């Protein structure tokens, strides 16, 4: 099966910022109130002040670094769910479906969004994922740091913010270098914890499910059969199904369907494509087959889901307007 073409992703733009920021809130840090003449192409940085607590599922065409210094939230990357706590880093990559929810009232942290071209003079083009394992589907994209590492990362974030606010000589170069140092600090933490060493994993069943989830998140648009993934994981389809069922209470086929449904949700939320157009985009034989699939997985028809998301978006907009009028 050929992968569907032209699956839209969110670009790094002011329109994208409206999806994850509440403009009625005030935050002096980063881009939240930064004037246009101080902004840099292909780069944004924010604190969680003003962050919309629930976001996604969504896809973007840029890299994201999240730093949680206090509180908790739930992060979803593809099929994997993470309960993110303080002193934790989280990363997502272009084209990866992601979402966040359940942010605690005391959550605080920072996040950086950047295009690969922004830092290509420090890291050769197409080598970012090779140098930093957390920018890979196969790597650990969520992990904790020790206090010394978190202090260093927070310091670098503050340095980036200061450079943004002050129009000093070579500020763009300085910001790129601080970003690189932040990534290097994260990589050293990753290596210190031997996160690339699969032999450290004690529960082999959970590890197999994690590897399966990562592969599905990477290849679900073109590979939709359990046999495809069993072959890549060097196990039989029956063994893969049995292990996934024992760990998650869902079949391996359910996992693939859930990932495809997430993609459909992104298209329904972020495009004006009709359900029929989305059906063909996702390589279903006919619109009716797509509608049956989507309702089976989500409990809603594509139209019902789109209407539900529209109501949620309008309600959120009305709340922001009411806040501004007070």
Whether the pLDDT of residue 3 is over 50: the answer is no
From 310, 298, 220, 111, select the one nearest 100 (Cα to Cα).
Answer: 111
CATH code assigned to 14-198: 2.60.120.280
The string of pLDDT tens digits covering residues 80-90 is 999 999 999 99
Whether the pLDDT of residue 157 is over 60: the answer is yes
Give me the numbers of helices (H) and strands (E) for the chain, helices first please: 11, 9
Whether the pLDDT of residue 92 is over 80: the answer is yes
Whether the pLDDT of residue 235 is over 80: the answer is yes
- Confidence class for position 318, pLDDT limits 50, 70, 90: low
Q: Of 152-166, 169-183, 199-213, 226-240, which range is least confident?
A: 199-213
Average pLDDT over residues 140-156: 97
Report the distance separating Cα 255 and Cα 97, nearest Å. Answer: 14
- pTM (two decimals): 0.82
From 148, 56, 159, select the one nearest 112 (Cα to Cα).
Answer: 159
Using CA atoms, how far residue 217 sits from 27, 80, 191, 223, 318, in Å, is 34, 9, 24, 10, 35
Name the more confident of 184 and 167.
Answer: 184
Whether the pLDDT of residue 316 is over 80: the answer is no
pLDDT at site 179: 97
Share of residues in the chain with pLDDT > 90 (%): 70
Using CA atoms, how far residue 276 sits from 21, 289, 291, 298, in Å, is 31, 10, 9, 17
Whether the pLDDT of residue 222 is over 70: the answer is yes
pLDDT at site 16: 78
Whether the pLDDT of residue 202 is over 80: the answer is no
pLDDT at site 324: 38
- Confidence class for position 138, pLDDT limits 50, 70, 90: confident
Q: What is the mean pLDDT of the chain?
A: 89
Q: Where are the domains of the chain?
A: 14-198, 202-315
pLDDT at site 325: 45
pLDDT at site 203: 65
- Tokens 């060097």 locate to 234
Pull the structure tokens for residue 326.
């007070």
Whether the pLDDT of residue 17 is over 90: the answer is no
From the candidate CATH numbers 1.10.10.60, 3.20.20.70, 3.40.30.10, 1.10.3720.10, the one assigned to the domain spanning 202-315:
1.10.10.60
Share of residues in the chain with pLDDT > 70 (%): 91
Report the distance separating Cα 212 and Cα 76, nearest Å. Answer: 15
pLDDT at site 287: 94
Average pLDDT over residues 257-264: 94
pLDDT at site 2: 46
- Confidence class for position 213, pLDDT limits 50, 70, 90: very high
- Confidence class for position 276, pLDDT limits 50, 70, 90: very high
pLDDT at site 284: 93
Average pLDDT over residues 219-234: 93
């Amino acid at each position: 099966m050929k992968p569907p073409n032209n699956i839209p992703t969110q670009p790094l733009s002011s329109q994208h910022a409206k999806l994850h920021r509440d403009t009625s809130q005030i935050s002096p840090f980063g881009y939240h109130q930064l004037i246009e003449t101080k902004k840099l192409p292909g780069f944004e940085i924010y604190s969680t002040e003003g962050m919309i607590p629930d976001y996604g599922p969504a896809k973007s065409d840029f890299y994201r670094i999240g730093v949680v210094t206090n509180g908790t939230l739930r992060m979803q990357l593809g099929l994997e769910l993470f309960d993110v706590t303080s002193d934790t880093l989280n990363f997502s990559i272009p084209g990866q479906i992601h979402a966040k929810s359940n942010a605690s009232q005391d959550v605080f942290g920072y996040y950086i969004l950047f295009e690969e071209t922004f830092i290509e003079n420090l890291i050769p083009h197409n080598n970012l994922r090779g140098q930093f394992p957390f920018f890979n589907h196969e790597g650990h994209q969520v992990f904790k740091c020790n206090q010394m590492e978190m202090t260093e990362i927070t310091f670098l974030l503050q340095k980036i913010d200061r450079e943004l606010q002050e129009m000093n000589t070579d500020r763009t170069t300085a910001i790129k270098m601080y970003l690189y140092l932040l990534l290097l600090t994260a990589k050293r933490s990753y290596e210190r914890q031997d996160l690339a060493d699969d032999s450290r994993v004690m529960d082999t069943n959970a590890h197999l499910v994690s590897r399966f989830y990562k592969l599905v998140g990477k290849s679900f648009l073109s590979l939709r059969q359990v046999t495809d993934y069993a072959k890549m994981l060097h196990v039989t389809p029956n063994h893969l199904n049995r292990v996934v069922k024992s760990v998650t209470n869902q079949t391996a086929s359910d996992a693939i369907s859930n990932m495809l449904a997430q993609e459909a949700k992104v298209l329904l939320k972020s495009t004006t494509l009709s359900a029929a157009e989305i059906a063909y985009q996702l390589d279903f034989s006919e619109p009716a087959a797509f509608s049956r699939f989507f309702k089976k997985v989500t409990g809603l028809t594509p139209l019902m889901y789109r209407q539900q998301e529209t109501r949620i978006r309008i309600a959120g907009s009305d709340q922001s307007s009411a806040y501004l009028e007070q």
